Chains A and B, each alone.
Chain A
């Protein structure tokens, strides 16, 4: 028993160290981004997602994979949450490629009843044994992770063990406009890993530290990620909660979150160069905002003009 505790502490200590060191390492620059058409959720999503993972040669076999969808509200009607059918297909795709474990994990920012919300949003119906495979990140055990050169004034954050113990963190956001940050995509989705049981509902410590800077800090803390954006039914206008549905009919995937998000912005008619957190990501790596190479569909073939909050018209592309 004593040995287990020591090993665990050693492991989380090592994670903190690795996270801190990641600041001086060049982050992964596999900046290719897949854009795949998917008109509706009844499409063969499993094969589409498998295809993306294979194309990007994601090392899945034997890995502990944690899928982080965006679960915000009870309503299954509005496109606020990542669609549970999309999450189910992603889980199945990772399992079919030999993942050792696939855990679904999320820590909503406003409402505490995460499992009730998941049930109401359709996750119990869409995903077999959902409750057994799900971790509420708001209530998970935590360890302090230190940032060595943060953009915020936060020197550290407590983060959940489920996330710290993952071999591969997979961000599964909903493609949505955001009334403060411009767009909420795979990078902003990581706000959900910050534990409410420590920081509260909402996780106001991140807002106080600056939304864009916090997004960038969380991004650099997790150099090994994959992203699959649910852009089938997206949200425009006063997102991320009070916006309206926008059919975009795409899945966007890639290993480098800023590349994926910059591509999504262009699909939404948002200038990625004006999105502060992307600018921060670019400022501390050799990555450049217009660098990502899109594969499968070209941006022009799927681009739409998402309605933006009146205060954010300056973000409009072109």
Chain B
């Protein structure tokens, strides 16, 4: 059985009756459900299409009045899980009025999460003492009010850039550019990215394959020329990517038609819905389109 077919079957088997997906087992969460939708984007099989539609419906029902999503129905605060839900809605070809409204409020919410470069006392203090500012301009937090980090910032940039292209909203590209500047400022000394660790007391921290791949993908989506050292490190990571997530983000960032980054001899197994979905998204990108890039 082809790998992608086996992955689709696993994905369908793990869908909850309410239409959402758990990370591994349990109740439905927004992030794995969003990734599940993206993974089934190119599905032609009626079962897969039905699964995708039920997931979209579940996501729409979970959206908060503010436009954002909380990560799980038992959580009240909206978080960066919103980015994946928004990417999932953006991937839908048939954008009816309801979906369009839903997307507009989601995009407004996402754009508000990018910390502005406003003058503030804390920013001034941080610059005076050469320490990372609490709300670094251009960054996006996982959880409202906390510091910005690489993964939520890169995901928000991907959302804004795709929406800028699909919905002809050039102002979103500007907000995404601030996010990309933050990403470029947070490279580790080895030229890759980790979670976005502060330089204080961890200046030589190593980068991770998954955050390096995701940051490069966001920069590629923004048409920023990719730093050579970062590409070289990401390519090195593919020999031992540690997880299927790390490998998939790097391949999605660096592959283009006619240029495939080979899998390592031992492919890390997909262990969560998110892993499964990312691998499927990568396999689909080789045949159809890369759902994270603005032009698809």
Contacts and interface: CB of A to CB of B under 8 A. Distances in A.
A75 to B, nearest CB: 10
Interface stretch (B71-79, B114-122, B288-296): B71-79
A120 B149 contact: no
Contacts of B74: 141-144, 158
A88 interface: no
- Among A112, A158, A202, max chain B CB count under 10 A is at A112
A199 B272 CA distance: 18
Interface string B213-245: 000000000000000000000000000001111
Given A120-B242, A242-B202, A142 B75 contact: yes
Contact of B245 (A110, A112, A198, A205): A112
Task: Tell me which of B26, B146, B197, B245 has the highest count of chain A C-beta atoms within 10 A of its own C-beta.
Answer: B146
A204 B149 contact: yes
Contact of A204 (B141, B242, B244): B141
Given A116-B243, A199-B142, A242 B205 contact: yes
Contacts of B27: 141
B195 A198 contact: no
Given A110-B194, A113-B243, A141-B27, 17 more contacts: A112-B243, A113-B210, A113-B245, A113-B268, A116-B271, A120-B242, A144-B74, A197-B29, A198-B79, A200-B142, A200-B146, A201-B142, A201-B149, A202-B195, A204-B147, A205-B146, A241-B202
A116 B242 contact: yes
30 contacts: A110-B208, A111-B208, A111-B210, A112-B210, A113-B242, A113-B243, A116-B244, A120-B242, A139-B23, A141-B72, A141-B74, A142-B72, A180-B201, A197-B23, A197-B71, A198-B143, A199-B142, A200-B80, A200-B141, A201-B149, A201-B151, A201-B195, A204-B143, A204-B147, A208-B145, A238-B202, A241-B202, A242-B202, A309-B201, A311-B201
A236 interface: no
Contacts of B201: 179-180, 238, 309, 311
Contacts of B26: 140-141
Contacts of B22: 139
Contact of B24 (A120, A139, A180): A139
A136 interface: yes
A202 B149 contact: yes
Contacts of A207: 146-147
Given A111-B208, A115-B271, A204-B146, A198 B72 contact: yes
Interface residues of A, number: 34
Interface of B: 22-24, 26-27, 29, 31, 71-72, 74-75, 79-80, 141-143, 145-147, 149, 151-152, 194-195, 197, 201-202, 204-205, 208, 210, 242-246, 268, 271-272, 275
Interface in A235-257: 238, 241-242
Contacts of A144: 74-75
Contacts of A220: none
B204 A242 contact: yes
A161 to B, nearest CB: 8
Contacts of B210: 111-113
A142 B71 CA distance: 11
A86 interface: no
Given A204-B147, A208-B147, A197 B141 contact: no
B187 to A, nearest CB: 16
A112 B142 CA distance: 13
A74 interface: yes
Contacts of B271: 113, 115-116
Interface in A164-218: 179-180, 197-202, 204-205, 207-208
A120 B271 CA distance: 14
Q: Which residue, B75, B141, B145, B149, has most C-beta atoms of chain A within 10 A?
A: B75
A111 B272 CA distance: 14
A309 B200 CA distance: 12
Nearest to A208: B146
Q: Nearest 4 pairs between A and B by C-beta?
A: A200-B142, A113-B243, A139-B23, A204-B146
Contacts of A204: 141-143, 146-147, 149
